[in-house]
Every structure is written in structure tokens, then in C-alpha cells.
Amino acid sequence: MTVGRLNQTLVTEFILMAFPVSQQMQIFLFLVLLSIYLLTLAGNTVIISIIWLDHRLQTPMYFFLSNLSFLDILFTSVISPKMLVSLLLERKTVSVTACLSQTFFSIFLGTTEFILLAVMSFDRYVAICNPLRYTVIMNGRVCFLLVLSCWLAASISMLGPTIVYTRLPFCGQELDHFFCDITPLLKAACVDTSYLEMLDFVLSSLVLLSSLTFTIVSYTYIIATILRIPSVQRRQKAFSTCASHITVVTIAYGSSIFVYVRPKHSNALAYDKAASLLTTVVTPLLNPFIYSLRNDKVKEVLTDVGAKLMGSSKKVHSEKN
């Protein structure tokens, strides 16, 4: 730590560099990202609503899916509103306290989601590899405890780093990102943060790679079991119940591993922004549509709901006439 850096005044707010484009392009990005955010809220709210209101979807798999949609709403709401406001302002500032809060909640919710994705793979493993005992093993109490464990595990993993991050002194005021991610935040600290970068790398690797390994092992057993099914139709049906989850897992882990599970380099921030945009904005939008378009039971329920709404609308219109 140099004397020059020690003598700098500690900052009380940061300036988010966000996207270095023209004002017209920032307005365009605002409209696009606002549309994505609203669609994300609407899509995930619809998924949660139909799962809790329709008895056909009140099974363990859809219970976990409703929790995934709830996490997506919280996760994108931690990042998108501030990002949207910043696109409209010339001076894109955020207080140190608000920035640290955003960092904590984004990592906490992201960690919870990855653990939940691993739990969802376990649910599919039990359903396909041990179908006769599925309702006994995955009963309501077990499902609730599994979801609760996701939140508790994420809380415990974030406890130590959070205490350390909140005690850091900051001298740099500019954060080269569109939200308060951990990498630009550490670069703004007045002290040597190389050990914290290593800690961040180790924790990210532990959470992402361990949950991914669990998911891969689960699907190895699932695929082996499916391939032993003699009926082609039954094999296709078994694969279809996993297709949505596999797609979500691929997108979520692919982008997150690129950003977090590798040593940090200062010249990679542009790529980090693009990958972070996919993880924080696009993925929460895709999840409800992936499950809607690739899941026959969800499509069936949505079709029935749409038909009921159309029928009610026509009835009201005829009564008015």
C-alpha cells in the first residue's frame, strides 16, 4: 500500500461507469433493459401463481420451481432498478453502504439459487431412479427443509466475507461495472486485496463447482437409468421432465463460472460485464419461458388458464351487450 494511496480521502460514494456509450444509446439500453425487467417480473410471477393455484402443479418439482422463480424476482430486483436509474442519470453515484448491500444480496441470492439448482437435480434423480418411493422421500416436510437449507447454506457461506468487506476502507471512487460486483469493489479499496481476491475465487469455486458436480453426478445416474428403460416413449417422457432443468443449469453455470471461477485480470472487465449481464438480467428472464415452453404440464395449465380468461372475458362482454 503506497503513501500516496494512504493519503487519499476515503470515499463515501461510488460512481458506476456502467456502459461507456452515447446518451442516445443509453436511452435505448434503458428501454431494452426495462422491458426485460418487466417481462422477468411478469413471467416469474405467472409461474409462481399457476403453481400455487393449480392442483396439477402442486408437486415437489414445481414447488422447487416456484422457489426458483421467487429467487429470480429478488435477484434481478437487487440489480436492475439501480442499473435502470443510472442509465438515465449523468452522474451515476451510489453510496458505499448501498453498494455493499447490493454486493451482499446479489452474491447471497446467486449462491442460494445455485444450491437450489443442485437440489432440483436431486429431486429429478429420486423421481426417475427411485419412482416408487418418490412421494415418500420427497414429502412436503423434506421439500421445505431442502429449500430452507439452501438459504441457510448461502447465509453461512456469506457471513465471513461480508464482515471483511464492510470493514474495508475505499479510496477509488469509480467502479467499472453496471452494478456493485465484488471485483470492481475490491479494486477501489485502499489496501492490498490480493488475499480477498483469492478468498473470493476459492468461495466462488467451492459453491459453483461443488453444486455443479452434485448436479452432474445426479444426471449421470438419471441418464443411465433412462437408457435402461425399454420403451422409447417412456424414455422420451423421462428426458422431457429433465430438459428444462438441464437448459437452465447450462446457462446459469456457464456464464457464472466464466465471471467468478477464474483468476481476475484487469483487462477482462469488458467480458465480465457481458457475462454478468447474461447472468443478472437475461437468465432470470429465460427461466420461466424455458419451463413454460419445454414443460408439457405447465403449457397445459397455461392453456387452460388462458381459455378460462377468454371465456370470462366473452361472458362479461355479452352481459354488457
Q: Rounded CA gap, 302 and 234, in Å?
A: 24
How is residue 9 annotated by DSSP? P
The pLDDT > 90 percentage for the chain reads: 28
**Nearest in space to 16 (alpha carbons), one of 93, 129, 98, 116:** 93
CB atoms within 10 A of CB 95: 12
pLDDT tens-digit series, residues 82-125: 889 888 887 788 888 888 899 889 989 999 999 999 999 999 99
pLDDT tens-digit series, residues 45-89: 988 998 888 888 888 988 999 999 999 999 999 999 988 988 888
Does residue 162 fall inside a structural domain? yes
What mean pLDDT do residues 240-254 have? 82
- pLDDT confidence of residue 6: 44
CB atoms within 10 A of CB 90: 7
Counting the structural domains of the chain, the total is: 1
Q: Is 117 left (phi over 0), alpha (psi -120 to 50) or beta?
A: alpha
**Nearest in space to 277 (alpha carbons), one of 68, 36, 11:** 36
Does residue 5 fall inside a structural domain? no
What mean pLDDT do residues 240-249 have? 82
- The yes-or-no verdict on residue 162 having pLDDT over 70 is yes
CA distances from 143 to 58, 94, 151, 238, 243 (A): 12, 39, 13, 21, 21
Q: Give the domain range for residue 219.
A: 17-305
Helices (H) and strands (E) in the chain, counts: 12, 3
Contact of 28 with 107, CB cutoff 8 Å: no
Distance, C-alpha 214 to centroid of its chain: 18
Question: Which range among 50-59, 125-134, 202-211 has the greatest average pLDDT?
Answer: 125-134
pLDDT band at 268 (very low <50, low <70, confident <90, very high): low
Q: What is the mean pLDDT of the chain?
A: 83
* CA atoms within a 13 Å half-sphere pointing along the CA-CB vector of 73: 15
- Of residues 68 and 163, more confidence is placed in 68
- pLDDT confidence of residue 32: 93
Q: Hey, which residues does 87 pair with through a beta bridge?
A: none
3-state secondary structure of 46: helix
- pLDDT confidence of residue 7: 43
Backbone angles phi, psi at 178, to 5 degrees: -95, -5
Contact of 33 with 84, CB cutoff 8 Å: yes
What mean pLDDT do residues 33-44 have? 93
CATH for 56: 1.20.1070.10
pLDDT band at 238 (very low <50, low <70, confident <90, very high): confident
Does residue 312 fall inside a structural domain? no
The pLDDT > 70 percentage for the chain reads: 88
List of residues 6+ apart from 227 with CB closer than 8 A: 235
CB atoms within 10 A of CB 229: 15
- pLDDT confidence of residue 33: 92
- pLDDT confidence of residue 109: 93
- pLDDT confidence of residue 263: 58
What mean pLDDT do residues 154-175 have? 84
Does residue 164 fall inside a structural domain? yes
Q: Rounded CA gap, 129 and 115, in Å?
A: 21
Does residue 263 fall inside a structural domain? yes
CB atoms within 10 A of CB 60: 22
Task: Tell me the residue length of the chain.
Answer: 321
Does residue 11 fall inside a structural domain? no
- pLDDT confidence of residue 174: 82
Three-state secondary structure string covering 55-80:
HHHCCHHHHHHHHHHHHHHHHHHHHH
Cα torsion through 179, 183, 189, 195, rounded to 10: 150
Contact of 118 with 56, CB cutoff 8 Å: no
Does residue 247 fall inside a structural domain? yes
> Cα angle vertex 147, ends 103, 290, to 5°?
80
CA distances from 203 to 66, 100, 157, 174 (A): 27, 18, 8, 25
Q: Rounded CA gap, 117 and 128, in Å?
A: 17
Does residue 178 fall inside a structural domain? yes
- The yes-or-no verdict on residue 154 having pLDDT over 70 is yes
What mean pLDDT do residues 161-166 have? 82
